[in-house]
Each structure stands twice: as C-alpha cells, then as structure tokens.
Structure 1
Amino acid sequence: MTAFGYFLACEEFPPDRLLEQARRAADAGFSRLAISDHFHPWNDAQGNSPFVWSVIGALSQTVELPVTTLVTCPTTRMHPAVTAQAAATSSRLLDGRFALGVGTGEALNEHILGDRWPAFDERAEMLEEAVEVMRELFTGRQVSHRGRHYTVENARLYTAPRGRLPVHVSGFGPKAAELAGRIGDGFVTMGPDEEAIKRFRDAGGEGKPVIGGLKVCWGEDRDEAVDTAHRLWPTEQLPGELNQILPTPAHFEQASELVTRRQVSDAVPCGPDVEEHVEAVRAYVEAGFDEVYIGQIGPDDQAFFEAYRDKVLPALTG
C-alpha cells in the first residue's frame, strides 16, 4: 500500500515554519516527511535555504514521523564522510526513522566552493563511490579509502546508525534509474514514469521502494493558486538538464521566463477541486510508487492541511 507523506521545501520556508508544517502534517494524517537539501533556492521569490541537517535535528524533537532527504548530494559541497556523519546522527536522533535520499546534484548548490561541475557520467561515478564510502562508515568500523574521487583516512563514526540506514538513489533518466537499481536501497524519481521504474526494477531494484512526490497549490481561488505556483515554482516545468546545470537563482529566473502560466496550470494541481488533487496523486499510486510526498506551494498551508485531512487523503486511502 502506498504511503503518503508531506514534502518540506527548504527553498520556500524558514526553519521555524518547516517545523510548524511538520506538526500540521502529522495532525492531518500524513505518515512521513521528506525534506529538500539546498544551499540556494531555485529563485529569489522562494527566498529561503536553511541548513537541512539542523532542521532534521529539530524535526526529531518535534514529530515522530520518519524523515527522508529528497535529496542530498554527497559528492561536492559536502564530502561523503561528512555527509555520512550527518546522516548517522540524524538516524540516531530519529530512532532509526531516517532514510538518506541522494543524487548527483545541481550546479545551483554544488558549484559554490568553486569546484568544476562535471558531466553526468562523472557525477554518477562520484555518487557511486560516495555511497560506497558512506556505507562503510555506517558500520561504525574504522575506514580508510583511496578511490578515484575521494580519500578517507582512519575515519570512524563513533555515533553510527543502529541497524541499516537506507540510501535511496535519485534518478531522472535511463542511466540514473539503472544506477539506482544497482546501488540504491530505493529509487527516487519525481514524475510517475512507469518506464523509469521498470528500468530501476530490471537493474536490480526488484522489491525495493520507489519514492516520489509532487507540488500542489491548494486554494479557494484557482486562478490565484495558479499565479502563486507560477511565481514561486516555474522551475518545475523547465525541460531537460537545465535544473542540473544552471548555476544561480538569477539564471533560473531568466530561464523561467519561458515557462508560461498555462504550462503551470496544466501541470500543477491548483485550487479547491478535490478530484484534481486526488487524480494527480493517484497517478503515482498507479505507476507503482511506494511513497508519495506532497508539498504545498505558497503561504496558505493551513487550508491545505485541512483539505487533505478531511477530503484528499481519505479519498486516496478509502
């Protein structure tokens, strides 16, 4: 049975608001949380970007729901050994209810230290090595590693996870789906793409969870909700590899000028039509997703949580 969670968007909300949303999500009947890991928002209108590991620590003291990062890049901005320590501590704070979602990252967040931004094949190779390093460290044993991309000397996580810490791998194309099947404990992909899921399964992902999500904008006035989604998240509709290669929020704002209001209206569930929201989420269920995370765009999250508690989630689970 598909589990429904709430997506905490660090790009759009400050940390105190994220904690409030987590409490409301639990009260509304969502069974888990996902949270983004960004250094920058996608555009200035979103306007936030708290440090995800601090927020996860606070979440562990706020709610009892499982938490998954969607997703962390453990290859450039943070060394995999440091990411492993952050993930292990999060797992302990959450009493094992933490999963580490990882991906090859975006230049938007990862170029900030002046590192070269590699092409996808090299980034995928870096991610595979990073996952290997992190899993070795999760054992709590001393680790020394000298690979093509990373060196670790005499490192040990004295506060290691209790039990297995799942590492879910994100992917948006054929190569990434196959990589997730080969090295991941689960597959993260945002669209209800049955072909990508098949590639993941065929590459070794049979029996492993598929995790995804979508953004919506619940509101009493559909036109206003579309305007809000178009203003804050036009980047969701950018094609191809732009999300991976553009380096700054300003570049995303320039590219987003090509995204029309109609595109957003057609792609994002907006307004108060319960069936529109149910159909959008149900597409993930029918595609075979095990976990679906829904995030509300804009400030009217109270109305969103009330509507999903009373109408949308019951229609999905009834």
Structure 2
Amino acid sequence: MPEYGYFLSCEEFAPDDLIEQARTAEQAGFRSLWISDHYHPWNDAQGQSPFVRSVIGTLSEAVSLPVETAVTCATMTGGRFRLGVGSGEALNEHILGGPWPPTSVRLEMLEEAIQVMRRLFSGEEVSHDGPHYRVENARLHTVPDESLVSPFLKAGGAGKTISGGTKVCYGTDRDEAVRTARRLWFNELLPGETAQTLPSPRHFEQLEPLVTERMVRDNVVCGDDVDAHLAALNAFAEAGFDRTYVTQIGPDQRGFFDFYRTKVLPQLPLD
C-alpha cells in the first residue's frame, strides 16, 4: 500500500516554519517526512538554508513521523532517521574547492561510499583503500537499532523501498499559484544537467527567463482542483513508488494542509 509523506523544503523555509509544517503534516495524516539537505537555496527568492542536522534533531522531539534526507552525501545517523544518499550537485558540493567530477565519476563515488557505509553500519572495524575514498580503522560504536544491510543483501537488492517526491502550489487562485511556483522553483524546469553543474544561485537566476508560466502550468500542479492533486499522487503509485512525498510551494501552508487533510488524503489508498 502506498505511503504519503510531506517534503520539508529547507531552501524555502526557516527552521521554525519547518517544525510547524511537520507538526501540521502529522495532524493532517501524512505518514513520514522528507527534508532537503542543501548548503544553498537554488535561488535567492527561496532565501533559506538552515543546518539540516539541527532541524532533524528538533523534528525528532516535535513529531513521531520518520524523517529521511533527500539527499545527503556520505553521512549517517540512526534511529528514526532514514538516510537518503545521492551524487550531489555543484551548487551544494563545490564550496569545498575541489574539482567537480562528471556524472559517471560521481556515480562511481556514490557506489563506493555506499559500500563503506554498509560495512560501517554492521558495527565492524572498517579499513578501505579505494579509487575515491580511504578509510583507516573506522568503526561505528553506536550503530542504528535497526540495520537494513543483512535483509538487503539476503534479498539480493529486491524489495527496496522506492521513494519519490513532487511539489505542488495549492491556492484558490490558480494563476497566482502558477506565478508563485515559477518565482520560487523555476529551477525545477531548467533543461539538461544544469541542476548538477551550476555552482551558485545567481547562475540559476540567469536562466530564469527560460522558464515560462505556461511551462509551470503544464508541469506543476497549481490551484485547488482536487482531481489534479489526486492524479499527480496516483501517478506515483501506478509507477510503483512505495512512498510519495509532496511539498507545498509558497506561504499558504495552512491552506495546503487543510486542503490535503479534508479533501486529498482521505481519497488516497492508505495502509
């Protein structure tokens, strides 16, 4: 049975707002949380970038929902926290001053990092000398209460949870919702590998004219049409996703949560 969660956007909201959104999401009936882990927002109109570890710590006290990053590069923690890892984007990773590898190399690095993390999560002492990473006598003395490594290996990778996310802009005025979505998240509709290669928010902003309101209207669910919101979420379930996270673009968070609590979530198949 599909699970529906709420996506906390650290690019667009300050910590206090994110905590309140999480509380309201739990009250509305969402079952889990995704949270972005980025050093920068994608553009200055979004305007935020809180330290995600501190936010997660507060979330663990504020709500009972499981929390997963979307995504983190090669860090870990345990308990109710779910680790989502990825190959990164230049916007958030180039700040350390090193070269930015091509996609093929970054994927190799991700695969190697995951192999090391799996060994660390077992609690064993790990030494690793690979093409991209070197680890000497590393051991996690405090490991998660639950480890997915053994079941994953025994199953040969089958049965992995597949998570996906989508952004919507709820509002009673669809045209205004489209304008809000374009202003804050035009970067989602930029072509090619720009999201992985551009190094700063100002570079994204230079490409804003490429994204029109019509493109947003055609690709982002905006407004208060219940059927449109349901169709977007059902599309994930039909494609085989186990968890689907949805986030509201813009300031009308209360309206969004009331809308989903009363009109959208009750019509979705929930376990």
TM-score of the superposed pair, with normalisation by structure 2: 0.94
Query: Which of 147, 157, 160 in structure 1 is aligned with 2:130?
Result: 147
Q: State the alpha-carbon separation in 2 of the partners of residues 285 and 304 from structure 1.
A: 21
Indicate yes or no: 2:52 matched with 1:100: no
Are the equivalent residues in 2 in contact too, given 1:100–1:165 (CA < 8 A)? Answer: no
Q: State the alpha-carbon separation in 1 of the partners of residues 142 and 209 from structure 2.
A: 47
Q: State the alpha-carbon separation in 2 of the partners of residues 16 and 157 from structure 1.
A: 32
Paired residue for 1:80? none
Paired residue for 2:207? 255
Q: State the alpha-carbon separation in 2 of the partners of residues 316 and 237 from structure 1.
A: 27
Indicate yes or no: 2:259 matched with 1:307: yes
Q: State the alpha-carbon separation in 2 of the partners of residues 289 and 256 from structure 1.
A: 31
Paired residue for 1:172? none
Find the residue that maps to 2:16 and give its secondary structure: helix
Query: Which of 92, 108, 112 in structure 2 is aligned with 1:125?
Result: 108
Paired residue for 1:21? 21
Structure 1 residue 317: Cα displacement: 2.6
Q: State the alpha-carbon separation in 1 of the partners of residues 168 and 179 from structure 2.
A: 12
Residue 34 of structure 1 aligns with an amino acid whose one-letter code is W
Structure 1 residue 216: Cα displacement: 0.3
Structure 1 residue 240: Cα displacement: 1.7
TM-score of the superposed pair, with normalisation by structure 1: 0.81
Map 1:290-305; keep pairs closer than 5 Å.
290-305=242-257
Structure 1 alignment gaps of length 5 or more:
75-82, 167-184, 186-203
Q: State the alpha-carbon separation in 2 of the partners of residues 213 and 160 from structure 1.
A: 28
Over aligned residue pairs, what C-alpha RMSD do you find? Answer: 1.4
Paired residue for 2:117? 134
Off by >4 Å, runs of 4+ in structure 1: none
Residue 19 of structure 1 aligns with an amino acid whose one-letter code is I
Indicate yes or no: 2:36 matched with 1:36: yes
Are the equivalent residues in 2 in contact too, given 1:98–1:165 (CA < 8 A)? Answer: no
Indicate yes or no: 2:25 matched with 1:59: no
Map 1:204-243; keep pairs closer than 5 Å.
206-243=158-195
Structure 1 residue 99: Cα displacement: 1.7
Are the equivalent residues in 2 in contact too, given 1:99–1:165 (CA < 8 A)? Answer: no
Mean Cα deviation higher: 152-161 or 266-275: 152-161
Q: State the alpha-carbon separation in 2 of the partners of residues 147 and 40 from structure 1.
A: 30
Structure 1 residue 205: Cα displacement: 5.2
Q: State the alpha-carbon separation in 2 of the partners of residues 115 and 252 from structure 1.
A: 21
Are the equivalent residues in 2 in contact too, given 1:14–1:49 (CA < 8 A)? Answer: yes
Paired residue for 1:275? 227
Structure 1 residue 11: Cα displacement: 0.6
Q: State the alpha-carbon separation in 2 of the partners of residues 137 and 16 from structure 1.
A: 33
Are the equivalent residues in 2 in contact too, given 1:14–1:48 (CA < 8 A)? Answer: yes
Q: State the alpha-carbon separation in 1 of the partners of residues 220 and 259 from structure 2.
A: 17
Q: Number of residue pairs matched?
A: 265
Residue 107 of structure 2 aligns with an amino acid whose one-letter code is A
Structure 2 alignment gaps of length 5 or more:
none
Q: Between the two proteins, what is the percent identity of the paired residues?
A: 63
Q: State the alpha-carbon separation in 2 of the partners of residues 250 and 67 from structure 1.
A: 30
The one-character-per-residue Cα deviations of 1:216-255 (angstroms, maximum 9, x if unpaired) are 0001111111110010000111122111011110111112
Q: State the alpha-carbon separation in 1 of the partners of residues 178 and 62 from structure 2.
A: 32
Structure 1 residue 142: Cα displacement: 2.1
Indicate yes or no: 2:218 matched with 1:266: yes
Are the equivalent residues in 2 in contact too, given 1:274–1:312 (CA < 8 A)? Answer: yes
Residue 93 of structure 2 aligns with an amino acid whose one-letter code is E
